């Protein structure tokens, strides 16, 4: 078993001055914590893996392909491999747990 606490992961991510912290890598999946501040630019590119985004906190819009939706705490968004996706119009600091399958990188 591996156990993680979001508050500790967020502190570790911030200590490394990055928007993203990968905290799990297994043969069939990986997971990370992504953070964007109000007004920040999301520069992610289409991923080679299927991606599940779980919004832990914050509020923003998210565009996946040609579709846009508002996301907030509790939102879960699936993005198929190769489809462009990004967060924008971030109105509350955003924290997103991201799961990749197969694992990233």
Profile the chain (105 residues) by mean pLDDT over runs of 10 residues.
96 94 97 97 95 98 98 98 98 98 92
Which DSSP letter does residue 76 get? Answer: E
pLDDT of residue 105: 78
Whole-angstrom Cα distance, residue 98 to residue 46?
Answer: 14
The total of other beta-carbon atoms located within 10 Å of residue 14's CB is 12
pLDDT of residue 95: 98
Structure tokens at 42: 């999301």
Q: How far is CA 64 from CA 4, 28, 59, 73, 91, in A?
A: 28, 23, 16, 18, 18
By the 8 A CB rule, do 61 and 87 touch?
Answer: yes
């Amino acid at each position: 078993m591996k156990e993680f606490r979001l508050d500790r992961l967020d502190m570790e991510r911030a200590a490394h001055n990055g928007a993203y912290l990968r905290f799990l890598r297994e043969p069939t999946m990986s997971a990370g914590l992504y953070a964007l501040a109000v007004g920040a630019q999301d520069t992610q590119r289409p991923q080679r893996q299927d991606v599940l985004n779980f919004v832990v906190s914050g509020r923003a819009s998210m565009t996946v392909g040609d579709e846009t939706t508002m996301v907030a705490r509790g939102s879960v968004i699936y993005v198929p491999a190769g489809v462009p996706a990004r967060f924008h119009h971030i109105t509350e600091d955003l924290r997103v747990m991201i799961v990749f399958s197969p694992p990233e990188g």
